[in-house]
Structures are given as C-alpha cells and as structure tokens.
Amino acid sequence: MTSNEQVEAEIAAEQVFVDMVHERLEESADVARSLVREGYERGHIGHEGGLVERDAMVFQATRRLSALNAAHDGLVFGRLDLADGDTRYIGRIGVRDADREILLVDWRAPAAAVFYRATAQEPAGVVRRRVLRSSGTTVLGVEDDLLDADQAPDDMVVVGEGALLASLSRARDSQMHSVVATIQKEQDEAIRAPSRGATIIGGGPGTGKTVVALHRAAYLLYTDRRRFESGGVLVVGPSNVFMTYIERVLPSLGETSVSLRSLGEVVDGVKARDHDDAVAAAAKGSSRMVPVLRRLATAPQRDEPTRLRYFYKDDVLTLDPQRLASLRRRLLSGSSRNRAFPRVPAAVADALWRQVAGDRALEKGEEGFLDTVMHDDAFIDFVEAWWPPLDAVELWRTLPDRIGELANGVFSGEELDAMRRSWRDGTPRIEDVPLIDELRYLVGEVPPEDDRDESAPKQLMSFERREREERDERFRATRSIEDDGYAHVLVDEAQDLSPMQWRMLGRRGRTASWTIVGDHAQSSWPFPDEAREARAEALRGKDEHVFRLSTNYRNSAEVYDLAAKVVQVAVPDADLAEAVRRTGHEPEHVVVPGAELERSLVEAVHAMLGQVEGTIAVVAPRADLEWLRFPLTDLLAEHGDRLRLLDGLDTKGLEFDGVVAVEPDAIIAEAESGWRTLYVVLTRATQRLTTVATSDAWRSRLS
C-alpha cells in the first residue's frame, strides 16, 4: 500500500467513527426537541405549577439543543492510542452511546487532560496522539504525533508533520476559531488553573493568550456550571471588531451562556464604538477623574433653585442658600442622591416647619402643617426643581460646561480643551463609558415611580415622566446596579485598561474569580504605574495564579524578528516569545515620494492578495483612514471578505495572513505609546508583512 493509500485508509476509518458519533448526536438532538415540545404542552395544564414545570423543561432542553447544534462542526477532533491498547476519542462535547457508554470524551473532562499534556519526553501512557481535521461531518485529514515509539505496534500508521505546525500554516478567515485540537501543555495548565482568585495569563504576541482564556471560560463552566452559569461569566475585549472576531469560539466549545462585551458596551444601555484622541483618552482614563465625578454627583445642578420662599398664613418661611446647602449635606450623608430622593419632600417640609412659631404652630400642629405644605403646588414645584432624580448619562452630559470648575486644577488646559472637544456632540466615546458607570454608582439608579415613597403626593411623582418623554433615549444606563456582579470576569488586552476602566470592571467582579490576559509591551495606556494600582484595587484580596506562554505560534520568525526590534525601542524588557516557524518571506519595505503613496499602496495590497489565501489588513494612522479608503475602494468592494482597513488600536487581538502597514512613522507619532502600537500592528501578520511609507526614519532607530 502506498503512502497516499495509507492516509486515505486512515481517513476512511476515522470517518466511520465520526459518522457513528454524529448519528448518536442527532438522536440526542431529537430527544431534546421532543422535550421542548413536551414542555410547551405541559403549559396547558392550567395552573402555576404546570407553567413553572414547562419553563424549566423548555429552558434545559433548549440549552442542551443549542450546545448540540453549536458543537456540530468539528465535533470529533482528537484520538489517543494508549499503551494499554485502549483508544480514546476527544471532542467538543461529551457523547454516550445508547447503553450510556462513553463514545466521546468532552475536552474539558479530566480524562481528556492527557491529550494536551502528553509529550515525547513524558508520554503519560500515550503512544500516538491524532488530530482529525473536519468540515461539518466530513473528515478531511489527520495529523499525528508519535509520542512513544517503543510502545508503538509495527503496523501503526503515523500521518503528517504534526497537528500544531499544520494548523499554523493554514489561511485565516474573518473570525477566531477554537484551538481545542492543538492546545499545548503550557496552555492547558493555564486553562485548568484553580477556579478561585485571579488567573493571570501573560506572554508576547501570538502565544495564544486570548484563545486560551476563552477555553478557560468554557472549562470553568464545565467544571462548576451551577456557580458560573447562575452568577454569569463576563468576557470583556478592547473593541467591537475584536468581539466580532472571537464570538464563535465559545459556542463552538459547547458554551452559549457567556456575556461578550467590548469596553464600550460594559454598561447596559450605553454603546460606544470610537476612541478619543490620545490627550482626551489619557485624561478621562486617569484616576484624577474620580474626585471630579464625586463633586459633580453631589453638587447642585446649574438650573436648581438656590432659595425657597414659602407663604404660610401671614408668615414668609425662607430657606436661604446656607440652609439649603446644610439640608443637602444631611440628605447626602451616607446616601446617594437618587437613593435619598424619597426623603426630600419631608426633609424640606420639616425645615420649613421649624420656622413656624407661636399661634401658627398651634393651629393645625405639625401633622396638619406638613399635610398642607406637601400638597401645595408651589411647594411641589420647588422640590421638583431642587432635587430631580439624575440619570447618569444626563449628568455626564453636563461635564463640558462644568469640568473647569469641578477639576480644581488637576487637569492642564490642553487636557480640558481635548475633553470638551470630545464631548461636543454628546455622543459617548469608549473612554466615557467608565465615567458614566462611576456616576451610576455615585448618584444611584433613577428610582422607578412605583418604588417611591407612597406618602408623597402624586403630583410630585409626575415630573420624571415628563422629563423621560423629552429625554434623548439613544444612550441610557438602564441596567440596575444590583445586577452588575458576575461570577467570573475575563479581561483581554488588560494592559490597555485605564484606571477608570479597572474601576468599572472591578465593580462587576467584587465577588468573582478573574482571568486576566495581557502583555505590558503591547500597552496603549501611557501611565502603567497608575493602572497597576487600579488593577490591584480591583483584585484586592484575591489570590493570583500567574502563567506565562512562551511560544509565538502566530508570526513567522521573519516577521517577529523585525517586530521585536521595534518594541525594544520603547520597552527594553519586553516579553519576547520564541517564533517556531519560518516562511522564507522577509518583510518588504516600500518607500516612495508623497505623490506616489496611493498608487504604491494599491500595488502592495494587490500583490499581497495574490500572495496569501486568507485575510489581509491595511493598517494606517487613524487620521489617514478616511482618505485612504478612496484609493482602496475597488479592492475593498471586490475582496470585502478578505480585506480590512483598520487603525492600530482596532487591530488589537486580531490576526491576518498579510498586513500592509501604512506610514509607520505616523503611527508612532500618534501617541506616546506609538512604538508599542506599531509593535502590535506588525505582529498581526502570520505570513507576509509589507510597509508602505514616505519616510523610513523608524527603521533607523532599530538596533
């Protein structure tokens, strides 16, 4: 039998097993579908118990059906041939036969751990490890690692160059995929780390930090489903582009109950997609914003009245600015503004009562006085104007006019001007979301009408309804503060988080376990010491389990050698991983006069489309994105599934077969973190890298 015939025979044998597993999977799906139908039928019983039983049955059956459907593609991906003669298959979910015997071991189960941890040096009873590559239900190929040749039977066939190296050379598409079939030993140790405390996963670009963290989330849900599914798992990434890129990974691993949010969407009801410029972003992200927001949350609003004159009988009762300020301090003592709202009418009326003297006080007594006052339209109008409940987004919108008076000199004139410019159109940027969240906690939730003090007159309740009808509903922090906590928080690209973003996530993870992924050499946040303090506060009291991933699987050595020189300009102690493969293609550098830049860029992109089969990113300074879109219009339209135009920050966490970097010197000049941003850009390329520029000054800085 020829070598090709042997490979075909091995694939055919594996196809027989895969077909059997899929048949069993379809039987399980039929059972789940029948349970859904039965559950709905039980809802016709006609009493509350029947409805509860229906909801529980439908929920559980639907969840199982979702898991079965999500795991369908590439369901069986691994096989272990053991020294004791047994064969063990590994898959995305566990499957049993009709007799409850295990057909397929869930990759998260203890019995599957050896698939990832066995090596030629420590085979752990594994003779051959095989990875099955499939499309849908069809086996396309197999890749083998022979781990213990001494135990291998004479007729054992070993196919291919090894699963990992084979997977690294394949073309990318527009989404991240599970690496469940090719997890390496050091990655598996991080995935299966203790569930309590904070697991810190570090390492340079291309070491698999993100996908390892996502596999860890799936592993935690598998090992302690009740805790993590009921409490919730929050996965936070740097951008919407990134979240779209990773959204298929967890469902493909059998998990559909995880909340994926970009940093601009952490606060429910608020969606921000754009970043601020470097100066405004650094100012808004700084912990210097905290006292500013505290003052804003407790200070009188610009249109609030400063004096109350109330006519009672022949008396004029007055609350001057000093008395109102004292009353405000008492109401806010130990309470947020909105939480204090139900006490405001009585507190103001009581302050007026204290000025009633002599016979006036005896006429009706305190109870009669308070009843009269609190049903008086003039009094109601004052309270509505003096203490309206505040929505966090509406309060945030007052910052442009008030930042100067509230800042007390902690921001420079340049920072104040940059922030005011960014707030001009009233649309939150990504850096504004933690400010809105901070205000939510400082002022409290806007109290629903049915939760307000029933003793207060209904006229007093009406003002928020009127305001709500006039309110711009595009941006509103709607989720209750009490619902913000999670059982597990996973943060990717954590090196970029500002202190204010750490505070926002810390509120969601006070009682949670954490997975934190990052590499300080790729940080776009310019003040790392300040961010470290905020992170330490967010993780206060939690044990940390630290893992470092040391092998760069993404970049060719040719690409990474250049990128490593770039990052060492700004970060001499950068964590440089070892790139494990070469392609024979060195990075290309095109330097042209300014008038030829557009033509040369189009030529470079066109050439790369012919050189690689998968995705390509054109990465440019943010200020150049719009004008560059015009010369690339035809290529973007023709190759929309393969070609992206992005700025440096939007490439975070992504990877492409080819990258064309435009004007590296301008990327460097955009921010203080420019060299680190260029490092990120270059390390997105898995196969080919080209730079197109009018200046080559950046290369002269490289050692």
pLDDT tens for each residue of 568-620: 999 999 999 999 888 999 999 999 999 999 999 999 999 999 999 999 999 99
- β pairing state of 198-203 and 544-549: parallel
Summarize pLDDT for 514-554 with one digit per residue, the tens: 999 999 999 999 998 999 999 999 999 999 999 999 889 88
Edge to edge, what strands does the sheet with 233-237 contain? 259-262, 233-237, 488-491, 513-518, 198-203, 544-549
Q: Which helix (H) or strand (E) holds 674?
A: helix 674-682
Contact present, 261 and 236 (Cβ < 8 Å):
yes
pLDDT of residue 224: 85
pLDDT of residue 145: 83
Mean pLDDT value across residues 230-252: 76
pTM over 0.85: no
pLDDT of residue 414: 96
Domain residue spans in the chain?
3-168, 193-276+480-551, 278-470, 557-700
pLDDT of residue 239: 80
SS3 (DSSP) at 334? coil
pLDDT of residue 433: 97
Contact present, 386 and 378 (Cβ < 8 Å):
no
Mean pLDDT value across residues 383-399: 92
SS3 (DSSP) at 451? helix
Between CA 79 and CA 82, with CA 81 as vertex, the angle to 5 degrees is: 130
The β-bridge partners of 96 are 102
Summarize pLDDT for 327-353 with one digit per residue, the tens: 999 999 888 888 888 889 999 999 988
Of these ranges, 18-32, 47-61, 169-183, 635-649, the one predicted with the greatest mean pLDDT is 635-649
Q: What's the mean per-residue pLDDT of the chain?
A: 84
- Which pair of structure tokens corresponds to residue 483? 């619902």
Mean pLDDT value across residues 375-404: 92
Mean pLDDT value across residues 431-456: 78
Look at 48 and 390; give whichever has higher pLDDT. Answer: 390
Residue 50 has pLDDT above 80, yes or no: no
* 193-276+480-551 and 557-700, same CATH topology: yes
CA nearest neighbour of 507 among 541, 481, 528: 481
Between CA 647 and CA 615 the distance in angstroms is 16
Between CA 608 and CA 429 the distance in angstroms is 34
SS3 (DSSP) at 137? coil
Summarize pLDDT for 471-522 with one digit per residue, the tens: 344 444 545 776 788 999 999 999 999 999 999 999 999 999 999 999 999 9
Lowest mean pLDDT segment, chosen from 217-231, 312-326, 340-354: 217-231
Look at 485 and 415; give whichever has higher pLDDT. Answer: 415
pLDDT of residue 358: 58
For residue 200, the one-letter residue type is I
Summarize pLDDT for 165-204 with one digit per residue, the tens: 444 444 544 444 444 545 677 888 888 888 899 999 999 9
pLDDT of residue 120: 77
CA nearest neighbour of 213 among 240, 232, 233, 239: 233
pLDDT of residue 553: 85
Look at 501 and 64; give whichever has higher pLDDT. Answer: 501
CATH code of the domain occupying 193-276+480-551: 3.40.50.300
CA nearest neighbour of 475 among 535, 425, 529, 515: 425
Spell out a b/e string for 531-551, using b for 16 or more CB atoms within 10 Å of the CB, else e.
beebbeebbeeeeebebbbeb
Look at 27 and 321; give whichever has higher pLDDT. Answer: 321
**What fold characterizes domain 557-700?**
Rossmann fold (3.40.50)
For residue 296, the one-letter residue type is L
Task: pLDDT band for 117, please (50, 70, 90 cuts).
Answer: confident
Between CA 32 and CA 54 the distance in angstroms is 14
Please name the residue that has the structure tokens 């016979």: 359
pLDDT of residue 314: 74
Summarize pLDDT for 250-284 with one digit per residue, the tens: 665 656 668 889 999 999 889 998 999 999 999 99
